A and B are shown apart, each in its own frame.
Chain A
Amino acid sequence: MTLAEVKSIQTTQNQSKNDQILLEVKNLKKYFPIKAGVFRSTVGWVKAVDDVSFYIKKGETLGLVGESGCGKTTVGQTILRLIEPTGGHVFYNNVDLFKLSKGQMKKYRSKLQMIFQDPYSSLDPRMRVKDIIAEGLKAAHIGNTKERYEKVRDYMQRVGVSPTYMNRFPHEFSGGQRQRIGIARALVLNPELIVADEAVSALDASVQAQVLNLLDDLQQEFHLTYLFIAHNLSVVRHVSDRVVVMYLGKVVEIANKHEIFSDPLHPYTKALLSANPIPDPTVKRKDRIILQGDVPSPANPPSGCRFHTRCWLAQPICAQEEPKLEEVHPGHFVACHFWKNLEDQNK
């Protein structure tokens, strides 16, 4: 099959499944206790993720973007139950993952995989590459040792690392190659959804492009669905079909990427776009928005709309009433009292 054929099949599949929701996150909450004193009593909670809802359609790439402390990583980790949620639901093919026992969850592990940020700490330095990639197969009791290594060879080839290196240790590889090994480790289990948490942010620009292209190819080949978590807007724009923007544990805007980038309706999204440096010295941006102040601590978030302390559109109501995430246009959700003003400004 040529690549074009694969692509055309993929597109028709995509079209037929276009509205099929693979994963739905509902009212997800994750609070971390703040402990203090001799007896380590809980004196407060960091609301890392506070009532977050979104869905991922089959075959799409959903970008999840926000600055440090916004809870995007925690969302990724709780969806896969790598850390236990405080509340909410995650429906995967209509099964609530949070209601499963740990044993039952094991069955879903292979379907929901993760690619990690740090290519250095995400591979066990004392294991050989073949054992790193085969780890999931072994845990799922798939095949015997020989069959597993056969698969390892196959997947190393697919991610572009020569299988002749399978007996090596991670430190013998470069950052980009290590990230490919991490991808092979997730892929070998034949997952449906891959959560990529800052999967390219630790890589050099030239290598980053290689890995992004690889992720793109693999999505076509294996009909993967991605939740792509990143702080880099340019990367998110490049890979995503739709984008979720988070700020201090809350979703502030969800839309398809063209709308997010051309017509952002939340002031935070707009500021984020405006802050992103453009690698072109001739682009002189007028009315550039530079937000004042720091991101507040998630342990003590501002009242009402959490963005109101830095927002140039803020009114008294913003400090009192928390705006709801509303669908203001089909498929475009925003949590702001004054999104209309911004829409007018955008015009």
Chain B
Amino acid sequence: MAQKLLEVKDLHTVFHTEDGTVEAVSGVNFEVYQGETLGIVGESGCGKSVTSLSIMRLLPKQTGEITKGEIIFKGKDILKLPENEMRHVRGKEIAMIFQEPMTALNPVYTAGEQVAEMVELHLGMSKKDAYNYAVEMFRKVGIPMPEKRVYNYPHELSGGLRQRVMIAMALSCNPSLLIADEPTTALDVTIQAQVLDLMRKLLKEYNSSLIMITHDLGVVAEIAQRVAVMYAGQIVEYGDVVTVFKNPSHPYTIGLMKAIPRPDVEVERLISIEGNVPDLFHMPKGCRFNNRCPYAIDKCMEMPPLFEVEPGHLSRCWRYKEIKDLLKKEDGVDVGRG
């Protein structure tokens, strides 16, 4: 197996708000191997973005705090690094791509300047080299007429091009880990296809790892090799993409798969998950999904650990063994459609 690049161990992140302290991430564990893509999928408020900001140590200073856990990157716990060393990790070792490139790019600098600044800073290139390098990066991410585009300001570029600039910037220092937070959500579907295609190609070329944070199961299926499904601040299912999609073993994952209409298969009626995502102030006792779960039993008033369904495939459900049978009994439909 490939080398372990990042390991998140028992991460707890809280936010201090006016109404009290809430835990947005409660005990998240996962690892990312060299060259692979891990998808973190979940609905709004599940803690997927907070997890990524915790890894980057970019939580809002006044309100956000990591209270527990380790983030081992290349064998070192980066939570213990002083801020000035962390600055070298950010951008150079771990780079981030945001959902809305318009707000992530500085509007008063040209696109080229922003890429050049990164490499000047981290790779110590001269101004001229950095500029040429920026042009090269723009070409690499498929921006047409890169010599001209480096002089454009972010607002002069389309959404798709801006996201390409973000990718160019993120890859410019050849980081070993990329974190992309909903990088295609703001884009049109044809542009999303372009960007995903590009990312796949570049990851292979650079042999970089990617954490893809998204709400879209389709995007995960397209780009990730392994997936972590998050719900209410916890990972509820974790494993190889094919296994998780074919053999989902947590009721939430199953529910999510039944709830989304698919472009390739028609169903008469969607099966929705009742209720709403719990808010952080009012978490249900025990398993956090128990108030919406069709299979909840008394045992679910206790918090289940992550059970190993099969090697490398984890599920946070007391009934992980019987869930498949329960499903079959229920509607005779095999969710995995396999």
Contact = CB atoms under 8 A, between A and B. Distances in A.
Interface of A: 67-68, 174, 176-177, 204-210, 212-213, 216, 231-235, 237-238, 261, 271-283, 288, 290-295
B319 interface: no
11 contacts: A204-B215, A205-B260, A209-B258, A212-B261, A213-B272, A237-B261, A277-B196, A277-B218, A279-B245, A280-B262, A294-B158
A231 B189 CA distance: 8
Contacts of B221: 277-281, 283
Given A174-B276, A271-B190, A282-B338, A205 B215 contact: yes
B215 A278 contact: no
B189 A233 contact: yes
Contacts of A273: 263
Contact of A177 (B192, B256, B276): B276
Interface in B208-249: 215-222, 224, 241-242, 245-246
B269 interface: yes
Contacts of A276: 189, 218, 263
A205 B256 contact: yes
Interface residues of B, number: 51
B188 A278 contact: no
B197 interface: yes
A118 to B, nearest CB: 14
Contact of A275 (B190, B220, B262, B266): B190
A237 B263 contact: yes
Contact of A234 (B193, B245, B262): B262
Contacts of A176: 276
Nearest to A217: B269
B264 interface: yes
Given A280-B245, A282-B245, A212 B270 contact: yes
Contacts of B262: 234, 278-280
Nearest to B336: A280
A290 B245 contact: no
B161 interface: yes
B147 interface: no
A256 B263 CA distance: 15
Question: Looking at A176, A177, A277, which has the most chain B CB atoms within 10 Å of its CB?
Answer: A277
Contacts of A213: 269-270, 272
A216 B270 CA distance: 10
A67 B188 contact: yes
Interface in B132-186: 144, 158, 160-161
Interface of B: 43-44, 144, 158, 160-161, 188-194, 196-197, 215-222, 224, 241-242, 245-246, 255-264, 266-267, 269-274, 276-277, 292, 337-338
B260 A290 contact: no
B188 A231 contact: yes
A272 B255 CA distance: 27
Contacts of A283: 221, 264
Nearest to B184: A277
Contacts of B219: 277
Contacts of B188: 67-68, 231, 295
Contacts of B197: 290
Contact of B194 (A177, A207, A290): A290
Contact of B276 (A67, A207, A238, A282): A207
B190 A67 contact: yes
A86 B219 CA distance: 39
B218 to A, nearest CB: 3
Given A275-B189, A279-B257, A280-B337, A209 B272 contact: yes
A206 B218 contact: no
A274 B197 CA distance: 13
B272 A210 contact: yes
A272 B261 CA distance: 16
A204 B277 contact: yes
A281 B248 CA distance: 13
Contacts of B258: 209
Contacts of B242: 281-282
Given A207-B276, A213-B269, A273-B263, 5 more contacts: A204-B43, A234-B263, A237-B266, A277-B193, A281-B245
B273 A209 contact: yes
Nearest to A235: B261
Nearest to B259: A209
A206 B273 contact: yes
- Pick the 3 closest A-B CB pairs, nearest first: A277-B218, A209-B272, A238-B261
A12 to B, nearest CB: 19
Contacts of B266: 237-238
